[in-house]
Amino acid sequence: VTRFKPGDRVVHEIVTFYCGHCPACREGRFNICNTIPPMKGRAHYMTGGAFAKYTVWPEQQLHKLPDNVGSQEAVLMEPTAGSVHSIITRMGVKAGESVAVLGPGARGLLLMQVCKAIGAGPILVSGLDRDESFRLAMAKKLGADVIVNVEKEDLRQKVAEWTDGIGVDVVLENSGSVEPIEESLDIVRKGGKVLWAGGGIRGGINASVNTHTIIVKEIDIKGEISQIPYDWLTAIHLAKTGSVQLKPLLTHVFPLEKWEEGFNLAATSPECLRVALQP
């Protein structure tokens, strides 16, 4: 080990085992290496987790944390890298493109911030009744131009009014629910781009879509999973420069011995975005 010394604060990539010679790897897409087996619906390729005093990781997959990023909020570096992968690597979102983010969880709010950081906008964020007082309010605070509670307003109608009937350039479906999958095809403009990313680590979702809409609107639909090394470099730069705010998304910190309480809160509370466990 030559790049790090004892005491350095680091984060690590999660795509650990890849062959390096399959077609995907030769394109630099290590996250979809042909030798990575399906892991019962999970997207992460880890060595057993990090709830331990020590863990072993390849040096080339470690990154130093910027001084302005706290150790606790560093738990958000992985979804930030994932958001960079979604926005820049997969979707190629450009400055000035309008974006709809469906789902205001931690990942959705990071997607929104990465879009803003590269100059995309205006940006709409949608959610449910349970999201309105905290998550949608947080989206507005972090820079969303429009927020929509889909249980009070019709998303299709709202987007039509907002875009003079044209639709948005890019839709980022991150909720993992059936209805937003269907809505995404209706609210994107002709020739627009749609990302389906929600629910991937839970084994995906079964949704019914009308291929006629995809065909006649010439919609580009993509999926995404995990990240590649370059995404981490960009994510760390965005955090270092303050272009993406992590601290507001770290809503709860628990001691390690209360891990079960932390997991339950993360799974059930609309006022919980991300939990850190402190050893």
The residues spanned by each domain of the chain are: 10-79+228-252, 82-223
Q: Which of 110, 9, 108 is nearest to 68 (CA)?
A: 9
Q: What does the alpha-carbon distance between residue 252 and residue 248 come to, in Å, rounded to a whole number?
A: 10
Give mean pLDDT, residues 86-97. Answer: 97
Tell me if 193 sits within 8 A of 222, measured CB to CB: yes
pLDDT for position 207:
83
Strand ranges for the chain from DSSP E: 10-12, 62-64, 99-102, 123-127, 146-149, 168-173, 188-196, 220-223, 250-255, 274-278
Residue 49 backbone class (left: φ over 0; alpha: ψ -120 to 50; beta: rest): left
Q: Which class is 10-79+228-252 in CATH?
A: alpha beta
Share of the chain above pLDDT 90, in %: 77
- CB neighbours of residue 218 within 10 Å: 9
pLDDT for position 56:
83
Alpha helices by DSSP H, listed for the chain, are 23-26, 77-84, 106-117, 129-131, 137-141, 155-162, 178-187, 211-217, 229-241, 259-268
Q: What does the alpha-carbon distance between residue 47 and residue 44 come to, in Å, rounded to a whole number?
A: 10
Tell me if 113 sits within 8 A of 245, measured CB to CB: yes
pLDDT for position 45:
52
Q: Which of 115, 19, 62, 81 is nearest to 227 (CA)?
A: 81
Q: Which of 17, 53, 26 is nearest to 279 (CA)?
A: 53
Q: Which CATH number fits domain 82-223: 3.40.50.720, 3.30.200.20, 3.40.50.300, 3.40.50.261?
A: 3.40.50.720
For residue 206, what are its two tokens?
A: 């079964």
Residues 6+ apart with CB under 8 A from 200: 43, 176, 223, 224, 225
The reported pTM is: 0.92
Indicate whether 42 pLDDT > 50.
Answer: no
Alpha helices by DSSP H, listed for 56-154, are 77-84, 106-117, 129-131, 137-141
Q: What does the alpha-carbon distance between residue 261 and residue 278 come to, in Å, rounded to a whole number?
A: 13
Mean pLDDT of the chain: 91
Indicate whether 202 pLDDT > 70.
Answer: no
pLDDT for position 274:
95
Give mean pLDDT, residues 157-185. Answer: 94
